Structure 1
Amino acid sequence: AHAIRTVACTVTYTGHNRPYVDEVAPGMFVALGGCGAAAKSSDAIGRLAADLLRGVADPLHDACAAVVR
């Protein structure tokens, strides 16, 4: 016999099905909405969030943000 085990987790989605990483108010940053893919993308999402917090310009973020806004 095989043991079956399930574990519940929370998955969040955004309206555009992409993670939302941005400054939402002066000094207030969010990194949310993994849309079911955050585990595999967590390194890139975290790096992007850290760059935003440090004020490091990332042209890719600006291009992606323009698409989802």
Structure 2
Amino acid sequence: MTQLLERAVKKARSLPEEDQNSVAAIILEEIEDEVRWDQAFANSQDMLAKLASEAMEEDRAGKTQELDLGRL
């Protein structure tokens, strides 16, 4: 455990039980969100590679147009 997390836990221990539960819920939710994000990103790699391949094939087939950045 890092020193910062140890300090946070030490301070949380001094809080009333209800506040400790609130802090714990926030921490657990953040960890779960991070896990979901990591899984979503990992699972999207195949799809991103497929989309990139399709885009490159369309470009090779002449089905794309050059983007005019001056019109943005």
- Fold conserved (TM > 0.5)? no
**Greater relative contact order (CA < 8 Å, ≥ 6 in sequence):** 1
Higher strand share: 1
Structure possessing the higher radius of gyration over alpha carbons = 2
Q: Which has the higher helix share?
A: 2
TM-score class normalised by the smaller sequence: under 0.3
**TM-score normalised to structure 1 length:** 0.28
Normalised to the residue count of structure 2, the TM-score between the two structures is 0.27
